[in-house]
């Protein structure tokens, strides 16, 4: 089930298991990719076009951490509102397809499960699948975090 209802104004009670959201897109810029990788992930297939040509990728690819940072920006802009209280962790991080300059990545979020905290009844825990999907509908990055979301009415 897909939803067009804004996420940022939602509380724990407003989310449903199986609900999905498309939260925005980013276009991968070659200069930004190089800048990020040079500073934070200087592997040859991220920073050296000639060396990258001799790898399994055949050309420069974005750092997965750059892709993850862009995912986080889209989450912050379109999903994580006032009720968001952070995360207890991520059970999965994968990069199934490389990201290249010029790719357009779109964030898709699906609510996988939810439960009220046993120790803190004023919050709920929502497990979600976050996927950055490229223009060819290939998953470039997938994370499965458990987010802490405040409850509107902790007495319920």
pLDDT band at 81 (very low <50, low <70, confident <90, very high): confident
76 Cβ neighbours under 8 A, 6+ residues apart: none
Burial of 1 (C-beta count, 10 Å sphere; 0-12/13-18/19+): exposed
pLDDT in tens, 14-25: 999 999 999 999
Q: How far apart are CA 56 and CA 45, in angstroms?
A: 9
Domain ranges across the chain = 12-150
CA 104 – CA 48 distance, rounded (Å): 22
Q: Taking residues 110-139, what's their average pLDDT?
A: 97
Whole-number pLDDT of residue 153: 79
At residue 66, does pLDDT exceed 70?
A: yes
If we measure between CA atoms, which residue out of 89, 110, 85, 86 comes closest to residue 22?
110
In this model, does residue 3 exceed pLDDT 60?
Answer: no
pTM to 2 decimal places: 0.91
Query: From 3.40.640.10, 3.50.50.60, 3.30.70.980, 3.10.129.10, which CATH number describes the 12-150 domain?
Result: 3.10.129.10
Angle formed at CA 89 by CA 17 and CA 132, multiple of 5 degrees: 65
- Round to whole Å and give the CA distance between 25 and 2: 17
Helix (H, G, I), strand (E, B) or coil at 57: coil
């Amino acid at each position: 089930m897909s939803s067009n209802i804004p996420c940022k104004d939602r509380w724990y009670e407003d989310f449903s298991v199986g609900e999905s959201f498309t939260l925005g897109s980013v276009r991968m810029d070659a200069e930004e990719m190089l800048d990020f990788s040079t500073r934070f992930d200087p592997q040859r297939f991220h920073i050296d076009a000639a060396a990258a040509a001799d790898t399994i990728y055949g050309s420069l690819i974005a750092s997965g951490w750059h892709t993850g940072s862009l995912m986080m920006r889209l989450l912050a802009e379109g999903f994580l509102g006032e009720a968001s209280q952070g995360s207890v962790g991520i059970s999965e991080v994968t990069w199934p397809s490389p990201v290249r300059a010029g790719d357009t990545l779109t964030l898709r979020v699906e609510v996988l499960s939810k439960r009220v905290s046993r120790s803190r009844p004023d919050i709920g825990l929502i497990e979600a699948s976050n996927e950055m999907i490229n223009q060819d509908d290939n998953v470039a990055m997938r994370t499965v975090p458990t987010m802490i979301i405040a409850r509107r009415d902790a007495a319920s």
